[in-house]
Amino acid sequence: MDEPREIPDLEPGASIEAVRALRESLDREERASLEASVETLFDLLGRAHALSVLAVFAFADRPLRFGDIEATLGVAPNTLSTRLSELTDCGLLERRAYDESPPRVEYTPTPKAVALFPVIGHCYRWAADYAP
C-alpha cells in the first residue's frame, strides 16, 4: 500500500487562489476523501452551539467543566450535553471523569480542536470587519 501523499500547508490568511491551487493539485481520490471530511466537519460545526462550545475552549486557559460552559453560553443543558458528547466522540474534546464526591468531569480540547482555533479567530476578525 502506498504512503499517503503529504498535502502542503496553507499559510494563515492564504488567498482563495492558493486554496484553489491546493484543491486542484489533489488527485480524484484524495479530493473526494478530503471533501467528504470537510462535509462531515461542516455538518458537525453547523449544529446548534457547536462552534460556540469550541470558541469557549479556544479562549480558555484551563480545562472546563459542564457548568463553566453552560454559564458562559447559556445553552440548554440537554443541548450542551449532546454537543459535548458529539465533540468528544469525533475527537475534538477529551472528557475526563474524576472519582470524587461530588463527581467532577472536565473537558479539554484535543490537538484536532486546537488546530481549528485559528478558524474561530478568523471568524472573530471577519465579524470585526464586516458584521453590522
Instruction: Please state, in angstroms and rounded to a whole number, the distance separating the CA atoms of residues 56 and 91.
Output: 17
1 versus 129: the higher-pLDDT residue is 129
pTM for the whole thing? 0.84
Quickly list H helices, the chain: 16-25, 28-45, 50-58, 66-73, 77-89, 111-130
- Inter-residue contact 51 to 90 (CB < 8 Å): no
What is the model's pLDDT at position 10?
A: 72
Instruction: Please state, in angstroms and rounded to a whole number, the distance separating the CA atoms of residues 103 and 3.
Output: 45
pLDDT tens sequence across 49-103:
999 999 999 999 999 999 999 999 999 999 999 999 999 999 999 999 999 998 8
User: 13 CB contacts (<8 Å, ≥6 apart)?
Assistant: none
